[in-house]
Structure 1
Amino acid sequence: MKKNLLYLLALVCSLTFFAACSSDDDDSDNKDNGNPPEEEAVITAPDVVGTYWGNLDISMIPDGSDQEIVIGDGIEKFITLSQVSNTEVKIELKEFELFINQQILKFGDIVVDKCEVKKGEGVSTFTGQQDLTFEGNAAALGTCPVTVTGTVEDGNADMTINVKVPTLQQTVKVTYSGVKQVQSLVEINFLFTTDYTDYLY
């Protein structure tokens, strides 16, 4: 009888021990296998995407100097910012040209493929840089490092584009202020009324 009682007590203790170990293992597994909450993807580019219409001013800055020589102001231009990723946009300034020494120097398009967009309180900022080789009679200038900085707030864009021209030992500085354009009623109506099945093959 005493032996049976001892066996019973030993069995109960063993079961209690294994249950405790199992509980510890479960807690450990939950801690080890518990995946941390996934971070939400940062999306900033759409806040600045669009086509802007405004005015640009152009000045020349000789290397080693902070003096700006204005060679053009109030020039009306479109600048387009298009999305290339959640946090990057491409900037395009079409058909850029300078009037220097009684001659027109055509650069072609200024395009910076990737500008990083950061979002602040009510304002978005963007920066980018790229080495460009221009077309037309500006091709003789060789490779020119281009930097872009700007802001967009309430649909208003302000930006500065600096084109460093080593062969001229000068930097072309372009400052721009523009307003985001909205789609015309005709374009919006087209989007909502067009039967796109006609375009499927």
Structure 2
Amino acid sequence: MRITVFNGSPRAERSNTHVMVREFLAGAQAAGAAVDNVFLIHQNIGHCTGCFSCWFKTPGRCVLDDDMSGLLEKYVSSDIIALATPVYTWDMTAALKNFVDRLIPLRCPIANQSGENYDMKARVKFPEAVVIANCGFPGANNFATLKEVVKPCRPLLEIYRNCGNLLKTNHAELKTTVDEYLRYVREAGSEIAASGKVSELTKAKLEMELIRPEEYVKMMRL
């Protein structure tokens, strides 16, 4: 089992998103998976120009000569990939969106129909997907747009953490709660690596509240 995380946070190793990713991958690795953690902000990834050369002139290969060619290899050689991001203006970060846009060489201009829905045919077998995201605000509503955006991936698991600024808290009482939550994130990684799925019990635990929203708003002076 190979699991690769593509982390779109501009803060990379210093991000709250990385706190979640680190625990998820630790659990996966402990269960025997080979893991990789890619910080997209450190990669040289140009913007898709919409030339469609990767469809018609050089099928499966982008004309841009940058780090994306190696990242595509990581992507297709993984059994499971995770898209990780903080919420920026209701959605994934620009770094992650740019990466997702550059996945276009993995598809070709042939329509696949499923009921009333149409999509592009894949050139390769896509890995299963996990989504990991955090938001600095309380409330599940902050993830509504991102949830719609990732629906086409049909994720095996979606981990959404509101009140994300608490993930690195030094407050003794809150840290106990956060550490409990992060153990569940680690358990999710372990279960995914061991069986390719996560139990409903673990999913429920991943929804635990870290703090009452009104207390968080007061603490963060939002």
Relative to the length of structure 1, the TM-score reads 0.24
Bigger Rg, structure 1 or 2? 1
Q: Tell me which protein shows more helix as a share of its residues.
A: 2
Q: Tell me which protein shows more strand as a share of its residues.
A: 1
Relative to the length of structure 2, the TM-score reads 0.23
